Amino acid sequence: MSLHVTILPGDGIGPEVTEAAERVLAVACEAAGIGLRTDHELFGGAAIDATGDPFPEKTRHACLTCDAVLLGAVGGPRWDEAAKTGGPRPEKGLLALRSAMGLFANLRPSRLFPGMEDASPLRPERVEGTDVLIVRELTGGVYFGEKTEGTEAASDLMPYSRAEVERVVRVAFEAARGRKKHLTSVDKANVLATSRLWRHAVEALAPDYPDVTVDHVLVDAMAMHLTTRPARFDVVVTENLFGDVLSDELSAVVGSIGLAASASLGEPGKPGVYEPIHGSAPDIAGQSAANPAGAILSAAMLLRHSGDAPEAAARIEAAVEAALGQGLRTRDLGGSASTEDFTKAVLAAL
Ligand SMILES: NC(=O)C1=CN([C@@H]2O[C@H](COP(=O)(O)OP(=O)(O)OC[C@H]3O[C@@H](n4cnc5c(N)ncnc54)[C@H](O)[C@@H]3O)[C@@H](O)[C@H]2O)C=CC1
Ligand SMILES: CC(C)CC(=O)C(=O)O
Ligand SMILES: [Mg+2]
Can you give the pLDDT of all 350 residues of the chain as single tens digits?
899 999 999 999 999 999 999 999 999 999 999 999 999 999 999 999 999 999 999 999 999 999 999 999 999 999 999 999 999 999 999 999 999 999 999 999 999 999 999 999 999 999 999 999 999 999 999 999 999 999 999 999 999 999 999 999 999 999 999 999 999 999 999 999 999 999 999 999 999 999 999 999 999 999 999 999 999 999 999 999 999 999 999 999 999 999 999 999 999 999 999 999 999 999 999 999 999 999 999 999 999 999 999 999 999 999 999 999 999 999 999 999 999 999 999 999 99
Residues 117, 262: one domain?
Answer: yes
Q: How far is the CA of 141 from the centre of ligand 2 (A)?
A: 13
Note if 244 is an active site residue.
yes
Which residue's CA is minimally distant from atom 3 of ligand 1? 73
To the question of whether residue 307 is assigned a binding role by annotation, the answer is: no
Nearest ligand to the CA of 249 is: 3
Q: Distance from the CA of 279 to the center of ligand 3, in angstroms?
A: 7
Where among 231, 248, 266 does a domain terminate?
266
Ligand 2 and 96: CB distance under 6 A:
no
Total number of domains in the chain? 2
Residues 220 and 324 in one domain: no
- Do both 63 and 47 map to the same domain? yes
Q: Is 94 in the pocket of ligand 2 (CB under 6 A)?
A: yes
| Alpha carbon distances (Å) from 57 to 41, 91, 104, 129, 160 | 10, 16, 21, 45, 28
HSE value, Cβ hemisphere, 13 Å, CA-based, for 1:
13
Residues 96 and 240 in one domain: no
Q: How far is the CA of 208 from the centre of ligand 2 (A)?
A: 32
Shared domain for 132 and 252, answered yes or no, is: yes
CA angle 274, 109, 234 (to 5 degrees): 150
Residue 150: CB partners within 8 Å, gap ≥ 6? none
pTM: 0.98
Tell the burial category of 207 from Cβ atoms under 10 Å away from its Cβ (0-12, 13-18, 19+): exposed
- Nearest CA, atom 5, ligand 2: 244
Query: What's residue 1's pLDDT?
Result: 87
Structural domain span for residue 39: 1-101+271-350
> Could you tell me the CATH number of the domain that includes residue 117?
3.40.718.10
Q: Is 290 annotated as a binding residue?
A: yes
- Do residues 212 and 279 both lie within one domain? no
Q: Verify whether residue 215 is a known catalytic residue.
A: no
